[in-house]
């Protein structure tokens, strides 16, 4: 049997595995005078995590973290889809219940 603390740790770990936003690969310029980007050629891609939680921001990601953050963003999107479906189901059930109550009331 799991203890309450173990359940809380599991829930916190599951929430940390969710991240709103998306990953975008960007080509950038560093601005160094001797670099190829000074001639207009961009560097290889850097990855940024974007989030639109009222304010858009970006954050640089290491290549080693890209797969983990991408999975977290996908998990968040899937959860949001499930929540939307659940809310729609709830609204339909509530409408059906109200209809039944109207039919039963004199």
pLDDT tens digits for range 14-69:
556 777 777 777 777 777 888 877 787 777 666 766 666 666 677 777 878 888 88
Q: Specify the number of domains making up the chain.
A: 1
Structure tokens at 52: 């639109």
The residue range of the domain holding 82 is 4-104
Nearest to 22 by CA among 48, 53, 55: 48
Confidence of residue 3 (pLDDT cuts 50, 70, 90): low
Higher pLDDT among residues 105 and 103, named by residue: 103
Query: What is the model's pLDDT at position 42?
Result: 79
Stated pTM of the model: 0.61
Higher pLDDT among residues 89 and 25, named by residue: 89
């Amino acid at each position: 049997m799991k203890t309450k603390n173990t359940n809380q740790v599991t829930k916190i770990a599951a929430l940390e595995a969710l991240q709103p936003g998306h990953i975008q690969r960007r080509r950038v310029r560093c601005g160094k005078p001797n670099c190829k980007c000074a001639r207009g050629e961009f560097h290889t891609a850097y990855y940024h995590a974007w989030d639109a939680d009222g304010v858009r921001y970006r954050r640089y990601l290491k290549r080693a973290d890209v797969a983990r953050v991408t999975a977290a963003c996908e998990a968040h999107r899937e959860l949001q889809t499930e929540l939307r479906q659940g809310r729609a189901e709830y609204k339909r059930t509530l409408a059906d219940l109200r209809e039944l109550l109207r039919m039963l009331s004199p």
